[in-house]
Structure 1
Amino acid sequence: MPEQFSILQLAGVAVLVAASVVWSVGLVRLLRRGRFEAAVGRSGPPLPVLPQQRRYGPRLESVELTPAEEDAFAGLVRQFSGDSH
């Protein structure tokens, strides 16, 4: 043991090295586990708080227009399209 270092300094370095090794091993294991789960593509059951998704959209609705409403709509279309006829 070198004379310029005290026992406490050497013990501190040893503790820091051990903590670094333990942290590195834990990080590697955590990253590998995440990569394995992503590769396998495990998907758990859907969350119970989310509503079921519908497989189709809403029903289409239509309305019959009167001739006056059709003329008014045609006028709006001409106005917005810039047509003067």
Structure 2
Amino acid sequence: MKKIPMRKCVATQEQCPKKELLRIVRTPDGSIEVDTTGKMNGRGAYLKKDVAALEIAKKKGSLAKALECTISDEVYDKISEVIRG
């Protein structure tokens, strides 16, 4: 039986299968990207594919802490669009 990789959501602190989470990456040049492939270079943080989790991350600043940088509203809007499909 194949092992399912588990990751922790930075907002809700829940352990979830990697496929249920969205990876947000701070690239080496300092930009913040949504990594749909899961293979982008840079510092990554996982966020549950849920609008409520995004609101928690925005309110607490947990995504900014995990990526060790400040995150603009445009990035949160981009993440929200990816979550909603």
Higher strand share: 2
TM-score range, shorter chain: under 0.3
Q: Which has the larger radius of gyration?
A: 1
Q: TM-score, normalised by structure 2?
A: 0.21
Structure with the larger RCO, 1 or 2 (CA within 8 Å, 6+ apart): 2
Greater percentage in helix = 1
Q: TM-score, normalised by structure 1?
A: 0.21
